[in-house]
A and B are shown apart, each in its own frame.
Chain A
Amino acid sequence: MAMKRPNRRGFLKGGVALAGLATEGGQLLHGQTQGMPPKKIDELIAYGERSHFVTSIRVPVAERHSPDEFGLTFHVLTPLQDSFGIITPSSLHYTATHRGAFVPDIDPREHRLMIHGMVDRPLVFSVEDLKRLPYLSRIHFIECLGNRARPSHKTVQETHGLTSCAEWTGVPLSLLLKEAGVQNAASWIVAEGAEEVKGASSIPLAKAMDDCLVCYAMNGEPIRPQQGFPLRLIVPGFEGIYQIKYLRRIKLVDRYYMTYDDYGHINPDPKVAALTHQIGPKSVITFPSGGQQLSGAGFYEISGLAWSGGGAVRRVEVSTDGGNTWKNADLRSPAFPMAHTRFGLNWNWDGKECVLMSRCVDELGTAQPTRAEIAKYWNKPLDENLRIPGADNSVQPWRVASDGSIHNGLS
């Protein structure tokens, strides 16, 4: 990435207070190096930004670049290797679109949400209407079904970067559905976005009435355009495709509607069908992870994230010997239902080659499986060609080489 040289004008304008401290060599006192932010100080007072020394960025998936030849955004990965705690900053939250999409520029004053179909009273809400209603804030992860580690992946951003976690604020969908009066014959909803392809998914009514939120805010501010401004449906624990961005319509129906996005998921095997939709228990070590470098033997803190679509994470275990023995990791954050949960483990590296892994158990007692356990379940050979049916929540190995470099254990 090209380093932007400091702008002399900006430096003088923006750094009046600091300018007096500058030495001739461009070195500032207190150990600061020269390089003022390109924005004016009044802009930064109005809306802050991170230090220019912090350069962590999202990257598009390797299979299809974003923007593509049409200028469309497809799938963009969050830099989990640089993450702390459990909240993904909105600017770094992964994004995915149905087929590649332009980010729509929606005027929230014009935007409407229609609820209709098998209801007693079809209703149309403005964003202002929704903001007047009782709301909830919940911390939830969103993970794309395409979040699937491959041997060719080098970093945790590539293997697991299609999951992120944010605080979402909005009106319980059940409240809106009760306002409209759901008829007895309804069993599914079709939720639809306002972007050019009007992406739509069928969602079980039981889930819609349980814990879904019609959100207008994310991480304390209005949802960003890439994340669905002005309204996004949050379906906690379900795959990303259900979290309908630019939500404009909810239709109550009596069957699975087999929309384009539904049809892309279908499988003839009921067991595979069961392993999509709701995300299984999953965890990954984010430090040390692929592409990172240990500076030598000694103390390190192994850190990672665990989550489950079935509820809260109850326990995380870490292995430093390729899965032969497992130790209980410490939970280093609150364990919210259907949310990233941070774990850590004190570790003294002896400088020898080893393989690090993590696995978790959720509040339902469901455990994250290893690839070997999955291969055995499906009676498939355990090799690099193993394609895990349904959503991939398998254990991720990281190989620590004796020189301290970290590599994908699947390769």
Chain B
Amino acid sequence: MGFPRLLRILAICAVSQAAWTQSPTYGLGKTPAPEEVRKWDIAISPTGKELPAGQGTAKEGATLYVRKGCAGCHGATGSGAHAPTLISRKGVKPDPSAFCLAPCVNDANTMSLHSPFATTIWDYINRGMPLGKEGTLAPNEVYALTAFLLYKNGVIGEDEVMDAQSLPKVKMPNREGFALPPEWKHGEPRLQGYP
């Protein structure tokens, strides 16, 4: 009798221990409504799982590129202006090893050629453009502008429709052109044997 009773007590202890570790310790902070999370969640995965409904083509994007003022900073042709180059001039060879952070006025390194995923372009136009009116573009407009940049850089065709399904599947020219940093571990050097 004594032994099963001990087991029962141990089992109860184990269950309450599990419940304790899984529950919050401090009880501060509020639970956001799912709607609030959706509104805030503008980070788009390479899988595109957060992409909203909507669609757009390069032709629609060409009109928006002028109407939304993109050409004002990035130039009518998408290069040679004071904001980063968006459309590489013909014949310029992409250089995926070139280090590039804004401001990057570098033909060999436009986002459409350098980014391994088309979702990065959608994400950035959506969160960060146009300058001074960030976050005002509708999903259809972001799809259309993304399609326009991909088309002008020779990545997709003029009539290809970009939406939540097609955008993550776009075969980007630099898809294999990046290495993830090694798994980070506390107390380990960045690169063994360097230099």
Which of A20-28, A254-262, A317-325, A341-349 touches B? A254-262
Q: Indicate whether B31 reaches chain A with its CB closer than 8 angstroms.
A: yes
Which of A3-11, A49-57, A265-273 touches B? A265-273
Chain A residues near B36 (CB-CB < 8 A): 114, 124
Task: Assess whether A129 is in contact with B96, with CB atoms less than 8 Å apart.
Answer: no
Task: Assess whether B179 is in contact with A125, with CB atoms less than 8 Å apart.
Answer: no
Q: Indicate whether A224 reaches chain B with its CB closer than 8 angstroms.
A: no
Chain B residues near A35 (CB-CB < 8 A): none
Residues of B within 8 Å of A, CB-based: how many?
Answer: 61
Q: Indicate whether B195 reaches chain A with its CB closer than 8 angstroms.
A: yes
Q: Indicate whether B54 reaches chain A with its CB closer than 8 angstroms.
A: no
Closest Cβ–Cβ distance, residue A249 to chain B (whole Å): 6
Interface centre among B47, B104, B124 (most CB of A within 10 A): B124
Task: Assess whether B123 is in contact with A260, with CB atoms less than 8 Å apart.
Answer: yes
Task: Assess whether A198 is in contact with B181, with CB atoms less than 8 Å apart.
Answer: no
Which of B134, B188, B190 is close to A197, meaning CB atoms less than 8 Å apart? Answer: B134
Which of A87-95, A295-303, A327-335, A371-379 touches B? A371-379
Task: Assess whether B30 is in contact with A369, with CB atoms less than 8 Å apart.
Answer: no
Q: Indicate whether A110 reaches chain B with its CB closer than 8 angstroms.
A: no
Q: Indicate whether B115 reaches chain A with its CB closer than 8 angstroms.
A: yes
Closest Cβ–Cβ distance, residue B33 to chain A (whole Å): 10
A280 to B188 CA separation, bound complex (whole angstroms): 11
Per-position 1/0 for B85-103, Cβ under 8 A of A: 0000000000011011111
Q: Count A/B pairs, Cβ under 8 Å.
A: 195
Place the interface of chain A in its size category: 35 or more
Task: Assess whether B120 is in contact with A198, with CB atoms less than 8 Å apart.
Answer: no
Q: Indicate whether A206 reaches chain B with its CB closer than 8 angstroms.
A: yes
Task: Assess whether A124 is in contact with B123, with CB atoms less than 8 Å apart.
Answer: no
Task: Assess whether A114 is in contact with B32, with CB atoms less than 8 Å apart.
Answer: yes
Which of A115-123, A162-170, A283-291 touches B? A115-123
Task: Assess whether A259 is in contact with B123, with CB atoms less than 8 Å apart.
Answer: yes
Closest Cβ–Cβ distance, residue A274 to chain B (whole Å): 4
A259 to B47 CA separation, bound complex (whole angstroms): 13
Q: Indicate whether B128 reaches chain A with its CB closer than 8 angstroms.
A: yes
Q: Indicate whether A200 reaches chain B with its CB closer than 8 angstroms.
A: yes
Binding site for B on A (CB under 8 A): 64, 69-70, 74, 98-100, 114-116, 120-125, 129, 132-133, 145-146, 175, 178-181, 190, 192, 196-198, 200, 204, 206-207, 210-211, 241, 248-249, 251, 253, 255-278, 280, 309-311, 364-366, 369, 373-374, 376-377, 390
6 A-B pairs closest in CB distance:
A377-B195, A99-B102, A266-B178, A123-B29, A270-B179, A264-B101
22 cross-chain CB contacts under 8 A: A99-B102, A114-B32, A122-B31, A123-B29, A124-B31, A178-B25, A179-B26, A197-B134, A204-B181, A255-B46, A258-B119, A259-B43, A263-B111, A266-B178, A267-B99, A268-B97, A269-B97, A273-B178, A278-B184, A278-B190, A366-B189, A369-B195
